[in-house]
Amino acid sequence: MFSRLGYFARETTISLRRNLLMTIAGILTVSVSLALFGGIMLLSRWVDHGTQQIKGGVRLEVFMTV
């Protein structure tokens, strides 16, 4: 069992060294995607919070004359 783990670790290291550019490109792609997703979620929360504050402060008065 442990010999298999050692084999997989060794093969993973060799593959990462051989394909360094693709490894870096993949890591950067995932990092940028997660950063964009987090930024969009944060912006969504800010907009929702601002909307709730505005809703709480709006008052509507109607004057009717006959």
Q: Render each residue's pLDDT in the chain as its tens digit; 66 residues.
A: 678 999 999 999 999 899 999 999 999 999 999 999 999 999 999 999 988 888 877 777 888 887
Domain count for the chain, please give it: 1
**How far is residue 10 from each of residues 1, 6, 15, 47, measured CA to CA in Å?**
15, 6, 9, 48
Tokens 């051989």 sit on residue = 18
pLDDT at 57: 78
Decide if 5 is inside a domain: no
Domain assignment of residue 31, given as a range: 23-57
Decide if 46 is inside a domain: yes
pTM across the whole model: 0.60
pLDDT at 61: 85
